[in-house]
Amino acid sequence: MIAFSIVAALMVIGALLFLVPPLLGKRKKAADVSHGEANLSIYRDQLKELDGDLANGVIDRLQHDSAKRELERRVIEEVELAADRAAGGSGVKWGWAGVLSFTMPVAAFGTYLALGTPAALDASRTADRQIQRDAHELSPQRLAAMVTQLGERLQAMPEDAEGWLMLARTTGAMARYEDSADAYRQVVRLVPNDAQLFADFADTLAMAQGRSLAGEPERLIERALAVDPRNVKALALGGTAAFGRGDYAQASTLWKRVLEIVPPDSEMTQRIQASLAQAADRSNAGLDGDSKRPGRSAGAM
């Protein structure tokens, strides 16, 4: 089945870009200059990647703009951190940065709980400092409590599409797929014609049903492709669904459409090519899809 998690990854990246660098220790002035220049170069590369993902249909405009805002905020933070280091400010050991690198997207999530809307991410530096304090106190129990708190908030504000999307992505990143699917159901109710949301919902729902795309997940994929025939995730998922039911010709057709969109040197291209080879092997051997499913490479993103 699919291991496509780019949307959740964007949330994590956005949070980590803001949280991890302030946890690094002191550096000598010369090293600080080099460090800052390297970071700015990385940010420029990440922005180019975001633009490329948008152009290739990997992410939608909303996700692109949100991630871009996080990068812009991080550049500002880097300048301020450079000034702090020049003044001799002390740092925290790398250990905390490592811990944060394995946490869920709690930074944006915590801000949403504190201020009521993800748009408040740009509200003030005070909120930014609160994010860092929350991150230091993070534990699985605290994260679970935050998810519960958000769920309770949404019961009182059921028309909050951004809140439901935050809940869907966070619970999905926690592998709570049934809860994530329930939240996605609310999102698509409020935002009814978004191809990426349909594809994300299908992926999560498939995980909730034991990694099966049969039934509602496949119908969601069809809806996604009806809205956007070039949605990469929907095409990849659709190919895997077709492979699973033994329709190797359809699987190959959908996967080849992915190859027309994604960069030829990308990991996605390698995975799709491996999936196409599996489909050809199954077709030539006369196997059906019930007993032979594609490996992780098939449609995985």
Compute mean pLDDT per 10 residues along the chain, 301 residues long, and list them.
37 43 43 51 72 76 72 58 45 37 44 45 43 54 85 92 89 90 96 93 94 95 96 94 94 95 90 92 72 44 47
Same domain, 49 and 125: no
Q: Is there a single domain that holds both residue 74 and residue 121?
A: no
The total of structural domains in the chain comes to 2
Last residue of a domain, one of 192, 217, 238: 192
Report which secondary-structure segment, H or E, holds 268.
helix 267-285
Residue 212 lies in a domain: no
Q: In this structure, are 66 and 124 located in the same domain?
A: no
Is the same domain home to 184 and 115? yes
Q: Per-residue pLDDT tens for 67-98?
A: 776 666 665 555 545 444 444 443 333 333 33
Residues 6+ apart with CB under 8 A from 82: 32, 33, 36
Q: Do 109 and 95 belong to one domain? A: no
- What does the pLDDT read at residue 246? 93
237 with 251: CB under 8 angstroms? Answer: no
The pLDDT tens digits for 23-40 are 444 444 444 444 455 555
In a domain, 290, yes or no: no
Q: Are 220 and 199 in contact (CB under 8 A)?
A: yes
Same domain, 52 and 109: no
Residue 222 lies in a domain: no
Same domain, 111 and 16: no
- Answer yes or no: do 71 and 4 share one domain: yes
Domain end among 52, 84, 102: 102
Same domain for 12 and 55, yes or no, is yes
| In-domain check, residue 90 | yes
The answer to whether the CB of 294 falls within 8 A of the CB of 240 is yes
Same domain, 130 and 84: no
Residue with tokens 């530096």: 125
Whether 255 is covered by a domain: the verdict is no
CA distances in angstroms from 145 to 1, 103, 128, 275, listed in the order given: 30, 15, 21, 40
Task: Determine, yes or no, domain membership for 268.
Answer: no
Q: Whole domain around residue 92: which residue ranges?
A: 1-102
Give the pLDDT of residue 277: 93
Global pTM exceeds 0.85: no
Residues 96 and 109 reside in one and the same domain: no
Predicted confidence at residue 23, as pLDDT, reads 41
Q: Is residue 254 in some structural domain?
A: no
Phi-psi map region of 286: left, alpha, beta (phi>0 left; psi -120 to 50 alpha): left
The pLDDT assigned to 159 comes to 94
Of 55, 82, 102, the one marking the end of a domain is 102
Same domain, 39 and 71: yes
Residue 113 lies in a domain: yes
